[in-house]
Structure 1
């Protein structure tokens, strides 16, 4: 879901100054403040000041434009300069700038310019209700805080990203917060299995806002929305009007023993054919979670797992068994969903999303398109079972037949599946190319193709059950297919139709049970 969907109701952005020079920019700023200061609305001065601060922050924090603007305003001795400095002494984001603005304002007032009547109201607002809506997994949420001054009311909407420790990705000031809240309620009602809406205590809202903004500001190059800088200063000021949370200890980092315990618990409870083969990926999942979300390392969500897969593609992690990534990540999603008490629909949607991300991950790794294995699946359990069975039937989607390379074949297409079976048997390729194809070789390929088709369709079900028993006993895939082909061959019946296999189905099922 899009956590910031109400941004269309954000305060309109003022036109950027036309003057290209720094002095021209400063003159435009003072002109804007002169116009607003005459009869300002309850929030006009704060929002204009926040926008100005955002502009110089985005331009280049190292240029110290804030201090230069303050010095420029001090020299002008006008009502516009007094208005700007009265706002900056509260809203400027560094103590040096706030102190400089207060001293400059004292100079301007000392030369006969009256102090703005509204100066004492800057940064002071009354706190209303706070609400939070987001995905049921906890990857992302929108926090709406309502503030008022007199009869005027505005909302502050913050997009929180918990895949990166709860940092704020965007900030928007909303003119009609009651309408936005109505939209949030409607969305939660319409999609109650995947969207949650909760009322938040103001003290908790302050913690989320303050910690989230601090986490974003600590990044060298944060990925933020277009309004983040514009409303940053006013968001910080209003955040300080929320009740201050009690001082508490930050979540303790998990010890190596706790991380190992989490891996062991997952491997013991998850449905993996070979739990030990998944230990490396499970360990990486726990390490990633502890790094990005120390408060709740075992929480699962589609975006959180997508970020994990992205981390595997950065080239810094060398995997011993890349084939384990897909089944382990899917099992982790399923295990985490059950552990977190998610509904069946939410758990199924999670696994479907993760499956799509795995498709992209595997494509980047020049592997098969994972989604090709999932046509017609619905539930979490079914997805996991289908992937395991069909990947056993068709483990590769690239092959070579003779001198021809075939890539990105569709395992769901019976004809392309047959090519993959042929490609897996180079010992028959010369016979295939001959004018008269050897009947024995042809029968062997036809039988294996039939077994692969049966595994793909899970019909009869005894084929996959036999394959699982054989592999559990230590047989390789090739050895298992040989046993299954032998069981099918033992039940062949004569038929007058050329290139058609017929067999005794009941006898075949019994033979499979005896394999």
Structure 2
């Protein structure tokens, strides 16, 4: 949300005040406002007072000050001062609950009946004129910044809200802006600089009312919402100003998708993308659909980088169970590409989405393997974030484990970047040869095939020639197991062998590349 620097400045508050001390400070602040009429200042002061109580620790209030609003109103009613009248005039409009607003109105009537004049601005609190409303956000629809302008006389303020559609469209932050025209100018500059990935459009007031009403309700309904530091501070004034917006049209509640609808979406995806293990891929795709239904029931199949990042976080957090964790990266990446096409995203937006998802998947793999193989064993530190995913996938296919057993000896924590230790891992995959190898009786056809498999594993590790890994992925997409894929690649390599003048075996590199491409 930008620019935070232009948000209304926050007044320092004591960390653990007493109830009476807090109430006296509030009345003192409102006495100053009462002397210098200004409805905007009154509204913002009242909102800040109410907002500071959300997480404030109060001496003698073990319940966290839940009844502070009603207690403050009762306290003010007993004071025959202009500050008490100013406070109650503000709270009868700005208080968060109907009970508090009614109590404030009744208390104000009591104070006024004792001869205290009503503040000149009392009738203006909450009454604002709605101006232009704009929204800007990413083209995917993950987040939107909504700028609403409100005026009173010659003064205009802006309410900037950050909405998160990866989590029920909730409001993550609220900020009151002194210079909304400057924020709008920055939005337009952003569009000029990055128009292919950002959108800017006007919003009808009734639509803005619905977005903010639903978004604030979604956030307030959470036990421990993750919100910006200004959310509680401007919550009361935001909800008060919302009443000036036209009532939103009646909303049709999003219908939860049936199992049949969810399965149909998965079938559509699997009809466009092939996987060796279709059922395992189906499990992950169904989780993606279920995640969309849970977090965005109005549009479960919308795709965006943040939405997929939240899905991966849910996997790491154990919210979903996956049958084959190794399939998560290719399925999520394929889902991103398929969904981008399905949702009509531009080529630039699709490319940026895939790039972001690659980066998130690299982080996912790192976190997932935190207690398993160290991914640093598969990387040399020179790869970019987007390259890391493919490098790890390729090298993990070549060397899926760093431990093996040869004969009676268990070998652990081998270094896959060491060719000799890679060879030990290949040998460990073939226990049928262990006895003959131990007796130095291993030669002939079996010896050649093992040597060729070691060569293929080396080629996959080094990605040279670069045609080997695409050929392996092609074979995997046909349903072949890793063992079967290596066997096919060994056969292709064997068919290119030729004797050299030194009676040694070599292979025709160009012929090998052509044969791999033919797969």
Question: How far off its partner does 1:454 sit?
Answer: 4.3
TM-score, L = length of structure 1:
0.87
* Aligned with residue 15 of structure 1, among 12, 16, 23: 12
Hey, what's the Cα distance between the residues in 2 that align with 1:81 and 1:228? 26
TM-score, L = length of structure 2:
0.86
Hey, what's the Cα distance between the residues in 2 that align with 1:22 and 1:307? 41
* Aligned with residue 100 of structure 1, among 99, 103, 108: 103
Match of 2:60 in 1: none
Question: How far off its partner does 1:143 sit?
Answer: 0.5
- Greater mean alpha carbon deviation, residues 468-477 or residues 275-284: 468-477
C-alpha distance 152-495 of structure 1, shift in aligned 2 (>3 A): same
The reply to whether residue 68 of structure 1 matches residue 71 of structure 2 is yes
Hey, what's the Cα distance between the residues in 2 that align with 1:326 and 1:292? 21
- Greater mean alpha carbon deviation, residues 269-278 or residues 338-347: 269-278
Conserved? CA contact 1:400–1:406, under 8 Å:
no
Hey, what's the Cα distance between the residues in 2 that align with 1:41 and 1:392? 67
Hey, what's the Cα distance between the residues in 1 that align with 2:388 and 2:347? 13
Hey, what's the Cα distance between the residues in 2 that align with 1:510 and 1:93? 72
Hey, what's the Cα distance between the residues in 1 that align with 2:236 and 2:142? 26
C-alpha distance 214-513 of structure 1, shift in aligned 2 (>3 A): closer
Hey, what's the Cα distance between the residues in 2 that align with 1:294 and 1:18? 41
Structure 2: stretches of 5+ with no match in the other structure? 57-62
Hey, what's the Cα distance between the residues in 2 that align with 1:170 and 1:510? 57
Trace 1:268-417 onto structure 2 (pairs within 5 A): 268-366=271-369, 369=375, 390=394, 393-394=397-398, 396=400, 398-400=402-404, 404-406=411-413, 415-416=417-418
Conserved? CA contact 2:280–2:323, under 8 Å:
no
SS at match of 2:25: helix
Structure 1: stretches of 5+ with no match in the other structure? none
Match of 1:29 in 2: 26
Hey, what's the Cα distance between the residues in 1 that align with 2:344 and 2:383? 25
**1:87-128 superposed Cα distances (whole Å, 9 cap, x missing partner):** 000110111111111111111101110000000000110111
Hey, what's the Cα distance between the residues in 2 that align with 1:418 and 1:196? 55
C-alpha distance 283-219 of structure 1, shift in aligned 2 (>3 A): same
Conserved? CA contact 1:67–1:97, under 8 Å:
yes
Match of 2:235 in 1: 232
- Greater mean alpha carbon deviation, residues 315-324 or residues 390-399: 390-399
Hey, what's the Cα distance between the residues in 1 that align with 2:3 and 2:419? 48
Hey, what's the Cα distance between the residues in 2 that align with 1:398 and 1:88? 67
SS at match of 2:137: strand
- Greater mean alpha carbon deviation, residues 53-62 or residues 423-432: 423-432
Hey, what's the Cα distance between the residues in 2 that align with 1:388 and 1:404? 22
Residues paired across the two proteins, number = 503
Conserved? CA contact 2:90–2:125, under 8 Å:
yes
* Aligned with residue 84 of structure 2, among 77, 81, 84: 81
